[in-house]
Amino acid sequence: MERRFLSWTSLGAGILFSYPELATITGIQGVLVYALASSSPMLIFGALGPIIRRKCPEGFVLTEWTRQRYGTVTMLYLSFLTLVTLFLYMVAELSALGQVVQTLTGLDPLPVIIVECVTTTIYTSLGGFKISFLTDVVQGGMVVGLIIVATITVGAKTQVKSELIDASHLLEPTLLGWQLLYILPVAVLTNDFFLSNFWLRTFSSRSDRDLWIAVSIAMVVILCILTLVGCTGLIAAWSGAWPGEPAQEGSLAFFLLLQQLPNWVVGVILVMVVSLSCAAFDSLQSAMVSSASNDLFRNRLSIWYIRGMVVLVMAPVVVVALRASSILQIYLVSDLLSAATVPVLCLGLSDRLYWWRGFEVVVGGLGGIVTVFLFGTVYYGNAQGGGDLLIIKNGLYANDWSTFGAFVAAPLGGILWGLGALGLRLSCQFVMAKRRGERFDALDRPIAAHISAESDLSSDAPQRALVPASHAGKFF
């Protein structure tokens, strides 16, 4: 299990909308960039997972290391962003499921969404994360089955028209395609840090070697699957299924392609998509329960109370999901939050930056968001434009540099604000130390509080005085 536990957790029904939609806009270039940007971040868990596990062996989510390194305030800040991210992903998953049901059957999606919420809540409450691991295996089988059935039937029933290939210009590079080479790796990589289900699986691996095997397999499998899913947008355009008459959104390209297939194929795919959605949704539920229990209540509150709170959260999730139209826009809002915070957070992984504190992380993360607003205000010439950019109102496909600029402003602004906060904190601490007549020790390197029996106790060399100045867990 540990060697494949990361293979499927990022695949939900939302991929059937976002990847084909991108293909209809940026062509093959966008498909490959998006697939690579979504799969390669798996490797970061293999690289950073062992480091964080050694620094925080008793932890099981990223927020636990954050509490140990930066203190409770920063941990609560990261926990809030984590829960917001999980909320947005749950909205995206239910919205995608509803759109699938409505598109393929014409039925009201609300009953199906409610049934999924109730079903996943019941079995995750009874089985916890163990049952979520099991459904990941089922999810993997459904993904493979979906790909096989769709590939065979599309290949047999769909006719690609050569004249549409040339007219679509989807084989040509685009400005957005080049922009995505930066936007998507930053967005997906940083956002994966906020997904507790990834960290739970990272910490649960038996060894670093098993973890590397898992993430390597995950990367290859996800790359292949997402590339195939994205290519359905190209086939839909080249076969004439998209944009259709009247013209439909690019997010429906996959389903417009399905409408050319026999009804039994559509039925099988619908069942697989629902199963796929359930497996992804239960992982998000379990991650929210674990994050809330550990971060907010330090595991002192009964898990059943936590599960009850998560059930209450389902109501606004369903309401927002029914009103949300763009799955990709939901992801981008979450990505923008993570792009502002994760770079300043990860600076603390370096032992050389022992003087980096929680104050810098929080100020930097919030400052990154403020920087996006300031950039949008300047770019559009008004504050309304800056506010719209915070929620990526124009989407990823705006024919300008606004989204690209937002994803540059978020991490860069976060680091600059963090450095400014560092200067402010050190200045205040220096002034306070001088006023109190104390030594300024804010930049003292922490020294381990234990002495090696071999090196120190048996040595004739003079013993060094130990300074109990560990700064771990300090906000200021």
For residue 8, being part of any structural domain is answered with no
Please say if the pLDDT value at position 150 is more than 80: no
CB atoms within 10 A of CB 124: 23
Average pLDDT score over residue span 447-458:
40
User: Do 65 and 202 belong together in one domain?
Assistant: yes
User: Do 300 and 347 belong together in one domain?
Assistant: no
In terms of DSSP H, where are the helices of 58-161?
62-70, 72-105, 109-157
pLDDT at 455: 36
Q: How would residue 74 be classed by pLDDT, with cut points 50, 70 and 90?
A: very high
**Alpha-carbon dihedral 325, 327, 331, 336, rounded to 10 degrees:** -40
User: Do 70 and 191 belong together in one domain?
Assistant: yes
pLDDT at 31: 93
Question: What secondary structure letter does DSSP report for 445?
Answer: P
Closest CA to 17 of 328, 228, 392, 321: 328
User: Do 333 and 314 belong together in one domain?
Assistant: no
Q: How would residue 474 be classed by pLDDT, with cut points 50, 70 and 90?
A: confident
pLDDT at 244: 81
User: Do 269 and 338 belong together in one domain?
Assistant: no
**Residue at which a domain ends, from 323, 349, 380:** 323
User: Which CATH number covers residue 143?
Assistant: 1.20.1730.10
User: Do 93 and 135 belong together in one domain?
Assistant: yes
Please say if the pLDDT value at position 131 is more than 90: no
Q: Which of 17-21, 40-44, 163-167, 449-453 has the lowest mean pLDDT?
A: 449-453
For residue 448, being part of any structural domain is answered with no
Please say if the pLDDT value at position 111 is more than 60: yes
Exposed/middle/buried for residue 277 (C-beta within 10 Å: 0-12, 13-18, 19+): buried
User: Do 119 and 206 belong together in one domain?
Assistant: yes
Please say if the pLDDT value at position 4 is more than 70: no
Average pLDDT score over residue span 358-386:
96
Q: What is the pLDDT of residues 173-228, one digit of tens each?
A: 988 889 989 998 999 889 888 877 788 778 878 888 888 998 898 899 889 889 98
Please say if the pLDDT value at position 468 is more than 70: no
Tell which wins on pLDDT, 83 or 455: 83
pLDDT at 472: 61
Task: Judge contact between 162 and 307, C-beta under 8 A.
Answer: no
Task: Report the number of distinct structural domains present in the chain.
Answer: 2
Please say if the pLDDT value at position 395 is more than 80: no
d(CA 221, CA 219): 6
Q: What is the pLDDT of residues 16-31, one digit of tens each?
A: 888 898 899 899 999 9
Q: How would residue 49 be classed by pLDDT, with cut points 50, 70 and 90?
A: confident
Q: SS3 string of 334-391? A: HHHHHHHHHHHHHHHHCHHHCCCCHHHHHHHHHHHHHHHHHHHHHHHCCHHHHHHHHC
Q: What is the pLDDT of residues 271-299, one digit of tens each?
A: 888 888 888 898 889 889 988 998 888 88
Closest CA to 472 of 436, 447, 441: 447
For residue 457, being part of any structural domain is answered with no
pLDDT at 192: 87
User: Do 272 and 353 belong together in one domain?
Assistant: no
For residue 1, being part of any structural domain is answered with no
Tell which wins on pLDDT, 245 or 237: 237
Please say if the pLDDT value at position 81 is more than 50: yes
CA distances from 397 to 177, 252, 262, 373 (A): 10, 16, 33, 19
For residue 274, being part of any structural domain is answered with yes
**Residue at which a domain ends, from 293, 323, 353:** 323
Closest CA to 394 of 382, 406, 383: 406
Tell me the range of 126-140, 319-333, 376-390, 453-467 where mean pLDDT is highest. 376-390
* Strand (E) or helix (H) holding 428: helix 402-436
User: Do 25 and 166 belong together in one domain?
Assistant: yes
The share of the chain scoring above pLDDT 70, in percent, equals 90
d(CA 249, CA 300): 48
Please say if the pLDDT value at position 7 is more than 70: no
**Alpha-carbon dihedral 416, 386, 176, 162, rounded to 10 degrees:** 160
Tokens of 192: 């994966």
For residue 461, being part of any structural domain is answered with no
Cβ-proximal residues to 440 (8 Å cutoff; 6+ apart), any chain: 429, 430, 433, 434
Q: How would residue 430 be classed by pLDDT, with cut points 50, 70 and 90?
A: very high
Radius of gyration of the chain, Cα coordinates, nearest whole angstrom = 24
User: Do 22 and 85 belong together in one domain?
Assistant: yes
Q: How would residue 129 be classed by pLDDT, with cut points 50, 70 and 90?
A: low
Please say if the pLDDT value at position 6 is more than 90: no
CB atoms within 10 A of CB 338: 28
CB atoms within 10 A of CB 350: 10
For residue 272, being part of any structural domain is answered with yes
Task: Judge contact between 223 and 35, C-beta under 8 A.
Answer: yes
CA distances from 348 to 4, 27, 167, 356, 357 (A): 29, 39, 51, 6, 8
**Residue at which a domain ends, from 323, 358, 385:** 323
Rounded to 5°, angle at Cα 134 from 131 and 139: 120
For residue 246, cis peptide bond before it (omega within 30 degrees of 0): yes
d(CA 215, CA 19): 22
User: Do 234 and 362 belong together in one domain?
Assistant: no
CA distances from 323 to 2, 94, 242, 330 (A): 37, 11, 24, 12
pLDDT at 214: 86
Q: What is the pLDDT of residues 253-275, one digit of tens each?
A: 988 888 877 888 888 888 888 88
**Residue 59 phi, psi dihedral angles, 5° rounding:** -85, 170
Please say if the pLDDT value at position 93 is more than 70: yes
3-class DSSP state for residue 190? helix
CB atoms within 10 A of CB 441: 11
Tokens of 227: 């590339």
pLDDT at 466: 36
User: Do 303 and 397 belong together in one domain?
Assistant: no
For residue 346, being part of any structural domain is answered with yes
Closest CA to 255 of 105, 114, 35, 93: 105
pLDDT at 461: 38
Write the DSSP string, 267-281. HHHHHHHHHHHHHHH
Closest CA to 38 of 283, 179, 221: 221
pLDDT at 258: 82
Please name the residue that has the structure tokens 């200067």: 423
Closest CA to 364 of 338, 350, 344, 334: 344
Tell me the residue range of the domain where 407 lies. 325-442
Rounded to 5°, angle at Cα 100 from 99 and 106: 80
